Each structure stands twice: as structure tokens, then as C-alpha cells.
């Protein structure tokens, strides 16, 4: 007899489940919770309530059966190899990602990619409905699942639906390029509440509904009326954050402090250690940063071993052409810079194309005098917030692009426009040369901001906004 399907009051839907499969030396597999802010935030909101998470387990083919992990019910959604290529690498990462990041690289459009996106979104919606209890709260995440809200509403008008966008929402002129713009807006309007990183993102969404769907809008709400279903959908900013207390605790551990010291020693105890940490993504402005630093090296304003630059570029989306090309370009540039400016034992740029454990990331943040964050467009940029969190010693300086969501919160950063190479050079030099006392004052203020606005607060704000979203028929 099959057991009846358990149902839950809170259902999260995100492209990935928050677990990775691990295989031990005997070939036995188990699941390890992937560390990350989203999981921490969800743990905090799920405490004391029944929660389920619907998502892909990360490997193409059949999905494992649903299972419990650390108090959460995980419901894997299967994706075939073709779906990984078309829904995920194709439509999500080669169509939507460039459009939503101001077309830094051209977007690719394929009708069969969208067909896969639709099919996979439907599968997610069905899985959500299967595990959602009557009247449940459903929280859908990110650009991969924009059709899910309307699909869930269709199947389950009893549940309350929220969606949060981790990346920017583009200006209507760019969004309008999408041949499937109507389907996407209608998909999102299935939600009761839509959360964005910045006020401008929410406004872009509302404007798109007005201009492309001719829907009435007022302030931050869009009015939808469809066959007797009249509703208002609210779109507003709820900037994401990180687990301040958890990460700070990690940074304070004696092992982390010792490792930070060791990192500095292994680099010859430079006067200034500059650090970049990014997924290897064209949105992150790694090339612009290297160009600026290369010119500072050429002008002898910085030189190894006094100044050392470490760039961690975490491997990302390696099967998408634009990412392959980016890797070739960045590695060519690093090679050139090292050829011209390195000394024996003191490279101009230490480039690391690796992924590191959290402990090592915390030690790197603690070791770095200047963190350089120069995206051309970024929803938030958690790396900036992680850096200030780790600096319990109030040391360090943050160079931050004005095109990140974090710029709207971390007002005491050394701000730059990454397109203005001369400006980036000056900002880096200011971050190096500003006296320590002044930098400590700036760091203290940024730390206060992140401590007060941590990921737990973000999650409860989102759920609160969802709970208080306009009721149906409240036109
Ligand atoms: C999207 C949006 C938004 C990186 N390398 C390693 C590692 N990381 C961790 C960082 C940080 C996370 O990955 C990256 O987060 P970001 O916010 O910087 O950027 P995206 O990956 O593009 O994230 C972004 C975010 O969603 C959340 O809403 O802020 O705008 O694009 O946490 O620490 N972690 C470990 N090893 C690595 O090598 N352990």
C-alpha cells in the first residue's frame, strides 16, 4: 500500500535542492546540506513549522525519492539531460541571465529552449501542489521558475504564493526583447507578492506590466483581472542578506585566524593584500578589475611583493559558450599581467580557478586588506556582505561597484563605476591609502548594517509581506 503523501504549511521551490550527493569510500551515497545563506534563512523560518523544499538534485536522469534532511522534507524534481541543456543552461543561463543583466553579452533565443523551460516549470508546479497543505504558503525562488506562480495558482487557488528574484529585473526596453515576455509576466502575476533586490527592480517589473500588458498599476501594485478573478499583486524590494552571526562565529575561530595569518605569510606578508572572489561570470567585471590593476602595476603605483592581488574565480556554467570564452579571456589577461609584472616568488596576480570550503573563504576575507567587488550588474553581491561580516576586527576596506544591490546598503564602501577604469584605479588607491582609523570607522558602520539586516530578517520580512499582500477581490 503506498503511504499517503505528506503535506506541508511552507513549501520552498528553487532550481536546486539545498543538498549535494556525497559518495563515501564504500560507494554508499548520502546527502550533505550545502552551506549557504538561503538554507540558513529557510532553516530559521521553518523552525517550528512543517516545511518542504522542491528542487533539482543536481544530476540529470531519474530523481531520487523524496527524503527528510535536517528537519526539512526534500522533494527532488527530475531533469533529463536535454532539459538540463535547454531549460537550465539554455533558457535560464543563456537567454534570461544576459537579458536580466543588461545584455553584457548578447542573449540567445531558441523556441525549443522556452518549450523546455515551460515543461520544467510545470513539473515544479505540480510537485509544489503535491506537497502543499491546504492554505499553505509557497515561496518560489528566482529566474528559473518564473512560470511557476501562475501554474500553481491554476492548480491550487487555496495557497498563498510569493516569488523572490535573486538577480536584477531589467528595464522594460531590454525585457521587451524577450519573445516570451508576456508569458513570463503572466507567470509572475500568478503570485500574491513579488520580492526584488532593489526598488528599481520592482519598479521595472511594474512598468513592464503597464507597458507590455496594458495592466493598471498604482504605486507598487499591479491589478489583474481574469475571468472573475480580480486581484492586486504587490512588487517591492526586500534585499537579501547573509547569516551574520554564523559567519562571524566562523571568522572568529582560532583556526580561521591562524589560517588567515598563514595565507599572508605564504604571500610574503605583503603591505596590502587585495582580493577578488567571484563566480567566473561576465557580470562580475573581473576583466575590468584586472585592466585597472594592470595599469596600476604598469605605472608602478602598486608592485609585488608589497602589494599582492589574489583572484578566486569559482568555476561556473562551463558548458555555456559565453562562460568558456570568458575563461579564455580572463586567463589570457592574467597570463599577460604575470608575464609583465611578476617577480620571482611574487606573482602580480595569484589566480585560483577553484572552489573552496567556507572555512578557507572566511580566512581569505580575514587576510585581505582590500576586497575588490566590481560587477557590471549584480542583484546583490553577497561576497561584499560576507567580507564585512568576517571583519570582526574592523580591519579591511571594501571597493564596491555602484551596479550591485549591495551598493544601496553599504554606503561606507569605496564606490566605483567599473566602466570607468581611471576611476577604478583611483578608488583602489584610495582604499589602500586611507588611514586605518578612518577605514575602521567605515567598516564598523557597514558591519552594523549587515548585523541588523541579516538573512533571517530578510526571510521574515519576505514572508510578512506575503502574508499581508492584498487579498483577492480587494480591487
Ligand atoms: C546570485 C546573484 C545575489 C563563491 N565562491 C566560493 C563560494 N562562493 C559563494 C560566496 C557567496 C556566493 O557564492 C556568491 O554569491 P553572490 O551574491 O556574490 O553571487 P551569485 O552567485 O551570482 O548569486 C547575486 C545572490 O544570488 C543571492 O541572492 O546576491 O546578485 O547573482 O556566498 O561566498 N563559497 C565557497 N567556496 C567558493 O569557492 N564555499
The average pLDDT across 455-467 equals 95
Task: Grade residue 175 by pLDDT with cuts at 50, 70 and 90.
Answer: very high
Residue 359 burial (C-beta neighbours within 10 Å; 0-12, 13-18, 19+): middle
Look at domain 8-240+457-467 and name its CATH class.
alpha beta
Task: Grade residue 21 by pLDDT with cuts at 50, 70 and 90.
Answer: confident
Q: Give the count of beta carbons closer than 10 Å to the beta carbon of residue 174.
A: 18
Lowest mean pLDDT among 58-67, 434-443, 444-453: 58-67
Grid cell 595569484 in the structure block, residue: 350
pLDDT at 3: 62
Numbered ranges of CATH 3.40.50.2000 in the chain: 8-240+457-467, 244-452
Q: Provide the grid cell at 259.
A: 589560517
Are 346 and 268 within 8 A, CB to CB?
Answer: yes
Question: Percentage of residues in the chain with pLDDT exceeding 70?
Answer: 97
Ligand 1 pocket check for 314: Cβ under 6 Å: yes
Q: What is 244-452's CATH number, 3.40.50.2000, 3.40.50.300, 1.10.1530.10, 3.30.420.40?
A: 3.40.50.2000
Ligand 1 pocket check for 380: Cβ under 6 Å: yes
The average pLDDT across 59-77 equals 93
Ligand 1 pocket check for 166: Cβ under 6 Å: yes
Three-class SS of residue 270? coil
Angstrom CA distances, 247 to 129, 279, 448, 451, 457, stand at 35, 19, 14, 11, 15
Distance in Å, CA 147 to ligand 1 centroid: 24
Dist CA 59 CA 22 (whole Å): 12
Task: Grade residue 20 by pLDDT with cuts at 50, 70 and 90.
Answer: confident
Residue 2 has pLDDT above 70, yes or no: no
Question: Percentage of residues in the chain with pLDDT exceeding 90?
Answer: 87
- pLDDT tens-digit profile of 112-122? 999 999 999 99
Question: Which residues, 6 or more positions from 280, have their beta carbon under 8 angstroms from its beta carbon?
Answer: 286, 313, 314, 315, 316, 323, 326, 327, 330, 353
Distance in Å, CA 301 to ligand 1 centroid: 31
pLDDT at 1: 46
pLDDT at 74: 94
Residue 391 has pLDDT above 60, yes or no: yes
Residue 53 has pLDDT above 90, yes or no: yes
Of the candidates 397, 382, 474, the one whose C-alpha atom is nearest the C-alpha of residue 432 is 397
Ligand 1 nearest atom to the CA of residue 382, by list position: 17
The average pLDDT across 124-131 equals 98
Distance in Å, CA 120 to ligand 1 centroid: 24
Task: Grade residue 78 by pLDDT with cuts at 50, 70 and 90.
Answer: very high
Which of 382, 405, 462 should be mutated for ligand 1, with most atoms under 8 A from CB?
Answer: 382
Ligand 1 nearest atom to the CA of residue 316, by list position: 21
The average pLDDT across 93-97 equals 97
Ligand 1 pocket check for 353: Cβ under 6 Å: no
- pLDDT tens-digit profile of 307-356? 999 999 999 899 889 999 999 999 999 999 999 999 999 999 999 999 99
pTM for this one? 0.96
The average pLDDT across 30-48 equals 75
Dist CA 83 CA 119 (whole Å): 9
Task: Grade residue 228 by pLDDT with cuts at 50, 70 and 90.
Answer: confident
Distance in Å, CA 279 to ligand 1 centroid: 7
Dist CA 114 CA 456 (whole Å): 34
Radius of gyration of the chain (CA): 23
The average pLDDT across 167-192 equals 98
Torsional sign, CA 274, 445, 390, 355 = negative
Ligand 1 pocket check for 247: Cβ under 6 Å: no
- The beta strand positions in 166-302, using DSSP E, are 193-196, 217-218, 221-226, 229-237, 272-279
Residue 407 has pLDDT above 70, yes or no: yes
Of the candidates 344, 345, 325, 343, the one whose C-alpha atom is nearest the C-alpha of residue 333 is 325
Dist CA 8 CA 134 (whole Å): 8
As a whole number, the mean pLDDT across the chain is: 94
pLDDT at 36: 65
Element (H, E) at 307: strand 307-314
pLDDT at 472: 62
Of the candidates 169, 166, 165, the one whose C-alpha atom is nearest the C-alpha of residue 201 is 169
Dist CA 398 CA 129 (whole Å): 44
The listed range with the strongest mean pLDDT (26-40, 42-56, 149-163) is 149-163
Lowest mean pLDDT among 34-48, 160-174, 442-456: 34-48
Amino acid at each position: 500500500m503506498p503511504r499517503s503523501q505528506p503535506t506541508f504549511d511552507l513549501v520552498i521551490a528553487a532550481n536546486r535542492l539545498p543538498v549535494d550527493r556525497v559518495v563515501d569510500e564504500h560507494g554508499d551515497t548520502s546527502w550533505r546540506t550545502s552551506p549557504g545563506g538561503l538554507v540558513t534563512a529557510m532553516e530559521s523560518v521553518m523552525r517550528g513549522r512543517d516545511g518542504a523544499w522542491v528542487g533539482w538534485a543536481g544530476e540529470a536522469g531519474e530523481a531520487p525519492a523524496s527524503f527528510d534532511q535536517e528537519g526539512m522534507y526534500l522533494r527532488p524534481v527530475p531533469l533529463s539531460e536535454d532539459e538540463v541543456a535547454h531549460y537550465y543552461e539554455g533558457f535560464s543561463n543563456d537567454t534570461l541571465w544576459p537579458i536580466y543583466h543588461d545584455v553584457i553579452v548578447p542573449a540567445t533565443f531558441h523556441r525549443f529552449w522556452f518549450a523546455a523551460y515551460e515543461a520544467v516549470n510545470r513539473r515544479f508546479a505540480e510537485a509544489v501542489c503535491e506537497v502543499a497543505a491546504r492554505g499553505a504558503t509557497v515561496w518560489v525562488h528566482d529566474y528559473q521558475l518564473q512560470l511557476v506562480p501562475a501554474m500553481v495558482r491554476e492548480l491550487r487557488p487555496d495557497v498563498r504564493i510569493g516569488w523572490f528574484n535573486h538577480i536584477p529585473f531589467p528595464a522594460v526596453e531590454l525585457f521587451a526583447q524577450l519573445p516570451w515576455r508576456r508569458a513570463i509576466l503572466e507567470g509572475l502575476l500568478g503570485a500574491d507578492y513579488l520580492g526584488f533586490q532593489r526598488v528599481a527592480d520592482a519598479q521595472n517589473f511594474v512598468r513592464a506590466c503597464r507597458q507590455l500588458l496594458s495592466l493598471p498599476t498604482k504605486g507598487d501594485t499591479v491589478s489583474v483581472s481574469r475571468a472573475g478573478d480580480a486581484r492586486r499583486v504587490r512588487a517591492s524590494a526586500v534585499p537579501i542578506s547573509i547569516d551574520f552571526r554564523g559567519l562571524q562565529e566562523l571568522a572568529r575561530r582560532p583556526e580561521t585566524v591562524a589560517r588567515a595569518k598563514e595565507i599572508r605569510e605564504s604571500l610574503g606578508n605583503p603591505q596590502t593584500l587585495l582580493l577578488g572572489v567571484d563566480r567566473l561570470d561576465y557580470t562580475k567585471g573581473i576583466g575590468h578589475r584586472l585592466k585597472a590593476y594592470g595599469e596600476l602595476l604598469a605605472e608602478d603605483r602598486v608592485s609585488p611583493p608589497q602589494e599582492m592581488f589574489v583572484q578566486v574565480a569559482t568555476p561556473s556554467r562551463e558548458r555555456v559558450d559565453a562562460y568558456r570564452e570568458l575563461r579564455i579571456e580572463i586567463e589570457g589577461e592574467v597570463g599577460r599581467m604575470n608575464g609583465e609584472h611578476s617577480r620571482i616568488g611574487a606573482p602580480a596576480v595569484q589566480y585560483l580557478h577553484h572552489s573552496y570550503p567556507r572555512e578557507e573563504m572566511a580566512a581569505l576575507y580575514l587576510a585581505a586588506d582590500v576586497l575588490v567587488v566590481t560587477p557590471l550588474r549584480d542583484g546583490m553581491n553577497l561576497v561584499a556582505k560576507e567580507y564585512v561580516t568576517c571583519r570582526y576586527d574592523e580591519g579591511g576596506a571594501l571597493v564596491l561597484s555602484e551596479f550591485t544591490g549591495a551598493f544601496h546598503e553599504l554606503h561606507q564602501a569605496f564606490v566605483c563605476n567599473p566602466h570607468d577604469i581611471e576611476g577604478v584605479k583611483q578608488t583602489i588607491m584610495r582604499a589602500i591609502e586611507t588611514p586605518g582609523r578612518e577605514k575602521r570607522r567605515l567598516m564598523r558602520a557597514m558591519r552594523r548594517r549587515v548585523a541588523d539586516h541579516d538573512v533571517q530578517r530578510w526571510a521574515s520580512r519576505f514572508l510578512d509581506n506575503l502574508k499581508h499582500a492584498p487579498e483577492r477581490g480587494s480591487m
